[in-house]
Amino acid sequence: MPDVYNWHLGRKMTYPYPEAHPTKQFAAVFNINRCIGCQTCTGSCKATWTFSRGQEYMWWNNVETKPYGSYPQHWDVKVLQLLDEAHQAAGVQPQWDHSQASEQAPYGVYNGLTLTEASGPNEQVLGYLPAESEWRSPNFYEDTSTGYKGGAYGLSPDGASLPEHQAWFFYLMRICNHCTYPACLAACPRKAIYKREEDGIVLIDQERCRGYRKCVEACPYKKSMYRGTTQVSEKCVGCYPRVEGADPLSDGVPMETRCMAVCPGKIRLNGLVDVAEDGSWVENPKHPLYFLVRMEQIALPLYPQFGTEPNIYYIPPRWAPRPYLRQMFGPGVDHAIERYTAPSRELLAVLQLFRTTQKMIFRYEIEEGPLVREAEINGKPWQMYDDTVIGFDAKDREIVRLSVVEPLHERPMERLNSI
């Protein structure tokens, strides 16, 4: 098998096909800290793509409550267990060497096995096929926290405080990661899955698919789903007509997907990043996604150790136990939380861009404003400035302009009850 370079892992890994990268990559940043678990993203996806017969159980977008919730049930625990067994069989102790971090390996180097490396001689990818019952309840354990150990009636006399809450949960919002090295694509015996050259969106060819469900088995995130009424599998299509700018509302420029654009919590930022021939992101400090993922490094891939190089990046929740988060998002967690807790002047401005326009933002500019607040965070002084951030679309037209401090409008007394 050829070797491909996976920058999440900081090393080459085995993959059935040689490297061939799209010119742009569909990517997004999800801010877990801001999610309110309202499932509007889930509903919008459902209402757009999966309302037909045979798709009843399909949630291309879902929000699950960690640590217990998962759809299909226990998907991540099961894949982690398979990987753990493979490591034990191979006598490998998987570890990240953060000391080797570099421009090409921002999280350091991972020495464990990926799913394509741990697959054994008979399969392309290590995976499992979820049983029917495991797809049954997408919201099992919704809003369920870990148990509080200590106080009577599960109450703490001191309340909860950072950096880690004792009783905790957080929402994990998931769509297809449109991976750089998709496990579903690797496993398809018919080459019916392809990654688009223009935006890196991963699609299942509905004509070539024969419903073998090898992709369902291989995708560690379980975002390929089988449709019994057509006997083929389907998956998140990245709302590609919107990304192409084909939606009438889009004015001919790429638009965010439905799940991103509807988010009331303003937790999602969707875009296209330029990809170099070697698969790395073309340096573009004024692209919000490049800035968040590569420069500030506050958004991290979900389970990078699986080796698929997923393209949805998460700002990890500040209050959850670090070992759990490191397992889920890799070794960059501590740095990401530290940066997010006391954001730099520029980061605070860029964070305002989330879910402010349906169009994808390709560039931002900042106009500096006055100092409005001084505080101490984690023992260090911190300043907040009321800067203005401006977003530009694919045609470099201004599409959004926001200040860090939200403008306050006071309703006059005589119109107190008016709407």
Partner 1 sequence: MFTRSRLIVVAVCLLALGAVLANAPLVSSQGLTITAAAIEGDLPLDAPDSALWQQATAVEVPMSAQMIARPIMPETNAKAITVRALHNNAEIAFLLEWQDATRNDSTLSVDAFRDSVAIQFPLIDGQPFYCMGQQGGDVNIWHWKADWQAALIAQRSLQDIYPNIYVDQYPFADPAVETEGDIYLAAYTDLDYLTAEAVGNLLALPVHLSPVEDIVAGGFGTLTSQSLEGQNVQGYGEWSDGVWRVIFSRSLTSAEAEDVSLAPEKLYSVAFAAWDGANQERNGAKSTSQWVSFQLAGAPGTGAAATTGAAAQAPLTARVAAIQPTGFNALFWGFIALLILIPLGIGVVMLYFHLGNKP
Among 92, 119, 114, smallest CA distance to 10 is for 114
Cβ 374 vs Cβ 383: under 8 Å:
yes
Residues 25-64 that bind partner 1 (CB under 8 A): 51-54, 56-57
Cβ 261 vs Cβ 355: under 8 Å:
yes
Binding mask 141-180 for partner 1 (x = CB under 8 A): ----------------------------------------
Query: Does residue number 17 form part of the binding site for partner 1 (CB under 8 A)?
Result: no
Three-state SS at 379: coil
- Cβ proximity to partner 1, 113 vs 292, nearer residue: 113
Tell me how far apart the alpha carbons of residues 191 and 289 are, in angstroms, rounded to a whole number: 31
Query: Does residue number 74 form part of the binding site for partner 1 (CB under 8 A)?
Result: no
Least distance to partner 1 from the beta carbon of 50, Å?
10
Least distance to partner 1 from the beta carbon of 113, Å?
17
Least distance to partner 1 from the beta carbon of 397, Å?
32
Cβ 195 vs Cβ 186: under 8 Å:
no
> Applying CB under 8 A, which of residues 81, 95, 144, 206 lies at the interface with partner 1?
206
Residue 7 is encoded by which pair of tokens? 């920058």
Least distance to partner 1 from the beta carbon of 140, Å?
17
> Applying CB under 8 A, which of residues 150, 154, 210, 276 lies at the interface with partner 1?
210
| Contacts with 300 (C-beta within 8 Å, 6 or more apart), sequence order | 107, 313, 314, 315, 316, 329, 330, 332, 333, 336
Least distance to partner 1 from the beta carbon of 382, Å?
50
- Cβ proximity to partner 1, 116 vs 257, nearer residue: 116
Binding mask 121-140 for partner 1 (x = CB under 8 A): xxxx----xxxx--x-----
Residues 324-383 that bind partner 1 (CB under 8 A): none
Query: Does residue number 225 form part of the binding site for partner 1 (CB under 8 A)?
Result: yes
> Measuring CA to CA, how many Å separate 391 from each of 266, 349, 355, 356, 388?
15, 11, 11, 9, 10
Least distance to partner 1 from the beta carbon of 264, Å?
24
Q: Which stretch binds partner 1 (CB under 8 A): 92-100, 118-126, 159-167, 253-261?
A: 118-126
Residue 419: other Cβ atoms inside 10 A: 3
Buried b (16+ CB within 10 A) or exposed e, 297-324: bbbbbbbbbbbbbbbbbbbbbbbbeeeb
- Given the DSSP bridges, would you call strands 62-66 and 109-110 parallel, antiparallel or unpaired? unpaired
Torsions phi, psi of 343, nearest 5?
Answer: -65, 145
State the number of binding residues for partner 1 (CB under 8 A).
38
Among 8, 5, 7, smallest CA distance to 301 is for 8
Buried b (16+ CB within 10 A) or exposed e, 348-386: bbbbbbbbbebbbbbebebeeeeeeeeeeeeeeebeebb
> Applying CB under 8 A, which of residues 101, 216, 273, 350 lies at the interface with partner 1?
216
Query: Does residue number 18 form part of the binding site for partner 1 (CB under 8 A)?
Result: no
Least distance to partner 1 from the beta carbon of 62, Å?
15
Least distance to partner 1 from the beta carbon of 82, Å?
15
Residues lying near partner 1 in the complex (CB under 8 A): 51-54, 56-57, 121-124, 129-132, 135, 187, 189-191, 206-214, 216, 225-232, 234
